[in-house]
Amino acid sequence: MIPPPTPSDRAAARRRRFRSIGGTILSLVLTLFGLLLVTFIIGRVMPIDPVLKVVGDRATQAQYDAAYVAMGLDQPLYIQFYRYITDVLTGDFGRSISTGQLVVDDIRRVFPATVELATLGTLIGVLVGVPLGVIAAARRGGIVDQIARVVALIGYSMPIFWLGLMGLLIFYGILGWVGGPGRQGIIYDGMVPNVTGMILADSLLAGDWDAFRDAFSHIILPASLLGYFSLAYISRMTRSFMLEQLSAEYVTTARVKGMSERRVIWGHAFRNIAIPLVTVIALSFGSLLEGSVLTEIIFSWPGLGQYITKALLAGDMNAVLGGTVVIGVCFVLLNLFSDLLYRVLDPRSK
């Protein structure tokens, strides 16, 4: 019989828990600090004169100097970095040269479109990739395993812009099965009240099924494209995790006891890979958030990726750095979420 924990054991457990929480918080702070430092350095080493972008090519030297001082560029770098950190922490990314609006307002407008696209892509990747990886591992060397390998290989090898163009040509241009570029058809533009910024959710909230069908016809192709790359990664990792579990002794013991193969695979082996799989899915979602740039450009999707690309081409560094910081923060928070969920699902990691 296991003796009950003593007060000293409970105190030691609390100290370990506090150290773990403190380490997580410190890691989060250092990561965010590093992210801000990198974006600050990028903004200073880019061969773009931010003052010239503000005052224009025809400004006098006096106007240039006044703007230079007003933007704080005459201050030492450590003071500029301090002001940059305080501005970012208060949500102030400056004003976009391209749109004339505050960068934070622009991001608030375009980011939901990227989240909507990445969420649906991740959902497709999970619903297809996880079962594919499990079956491929359970039937190693079989036809499903070979298909999973080919799918993963193509997903890692094919250029996304080529697949996007081919998808538009075949499914929109030739077959007419999906909507064209953009988030909605012209007739539905602005008809759904903007509540969440995600048209599928907003059209459902408004009860406008015609707008929902139109929005779904536009998002399904780019989301499937992102979902394909997501499922290539998820299926590969799921297969790897399952192969490791299926070779464990407890699986052999369960089979010897006469347990059904279905229960061995889904009730035992898959349950043990569910925890690391959470991290894989979270990282996949983060990758789609930052990696949807080409997809958004090909499909004229007005999301954060397209916003950053246009800003970069226009030399709008406030918008570029603001969007970069938002994507970086999303990655950090997703990692933190997966780590916390890992601790909740697996008490041994506490």
Lowest mean pLDDT: which of 8-17, 162-171, 234-243, 292-301? Answer: 8-17
Domain boundary at 64, 89, 114, which?
89
CB 293 within 8 A of CB 306: yes
In this structure, the answer to whether residues 121 and 79 fall within a common structural domain is no
Identify whether residues 112 and 166 lie together within a single domain: yes
Cβ contact 235:202 at 8 Å: no
Instruction: Judge whether 300 and 168 are in contact, CB under 8 Å.
Output: no
Question: Residues 215, 82: one domain?
Answer: no
Tell me, yes or no, whether 187 and 289 share the same domain.
yes
| Whole-number pLDDT of residue 271 | 83
Residue 96 inside a domain? The answer is no
Band of residue 121 on the pLDDT scale cut at 50, 70, 90:
very high
Higher pLDDT, 70 or 319: 319
Residues of the chain with pLDDT > 90: what percent? 11
Could you tell me the pLDDT band of residue 289, with boundaries at 50, 70 and 90? Answer: confident
pLDDT at 45: 75
Domain count for the chain: 2
125 and 84 fall within a common domain: no
Query: Higher pLDDT residue, 118 or 23?
Result: 118
Determine the average pLDDT of the residues in 73-94: 85
Residues 205 and 68 reside in one and the same domain: no
User: Percent of the chain beyond pLDDT 70?
Assistant: 92
Residues 86-93 have a mean pLDDT of 85
294 and 330 part of one domain: yes
SS3 102: strand
**Of 232, 227, 235, the residue nearest 117 (C-alpha):** 227
The reply to whether 83 and 218 lie within a common domain is no
Between these two residues, 7 and 204, which has the higher pLDDT value? 204
Q: Residues 147, 63: one domain?
A: no
Residue by residue, DSSP assigns 15-72 as: HHHHHHHHHHHHHHHHHHHHHHHHHHHHHHHSS--HHHHHH-TT--HHHHHHHHHHTT
**113, pLDDT greater than 60:** yes
- Whether 213 is covered by a domain: the verdict is yes
Beta bridge partners of 95: 102
In a domain? residue 306: yes
- Domain span holding position 80: 7-89
108 falls within a domain:
yes
Q: pLDDT confidence of 2, banded at 50, 70, 90?
A: very low
Residue 179 φ/ψ, nearest 5 degrees: -75, 165
Taking residues 333-345, what's their average pLDDT? 76
Which of 43-52, 296-305, 313-322 has maximum average pLDDT?
Answer: 296-305
The tally of CA atoms less than 13 A away on the side-chain side of residue 99 is: 21
Residue at which a domain ends, from 47, 65, 89:
89
Single residue among 56, 89, 122 that ends a domain in this structure: 89
- Per-residue pLDDT, 1: 44
Domain co-membership, 159 together with 272: yes
- Single pTM value for the model: 0.82
Q: 145 and 46, same structural domain?
A: no
Do 55 and 108 reside in the same domain of the chain? no
Distance separating alpha carbons of residues 342 and 281, to the nearest angstrom? 12
Q: Residues 178-200: what's their mean pLDDT? A: 84
Please compute, for residue 71, the number of CA atoms within 13 A of its CA located in the half-sphere on the CB side: 19
Is 199 among the domain residues?
yes
C-alpha angle with apex 59: 57 to 64, nearest 5 degrees? 105
Q: What is the mean pLDDT of residues 163-184?
A: 87
CATH at 272: 1.10.3720.10
Q: 198, 190, 182: which is closest to 112 by C-alpha?
A: 198
Q: Is residue 220 part of a domain?
A: yes
State how far Cα 15 lies from the chain centre.
34
Q: Which of 171-175, 290-294, 301-305 has the lowest mean pLDDT?
A: 290-294
Let me know if residue 94 belongs to a domain. no
Q: Is 279 exposed, middle or buried (0-12, 13-18, 19+ CB in 10 A)?
A: middle
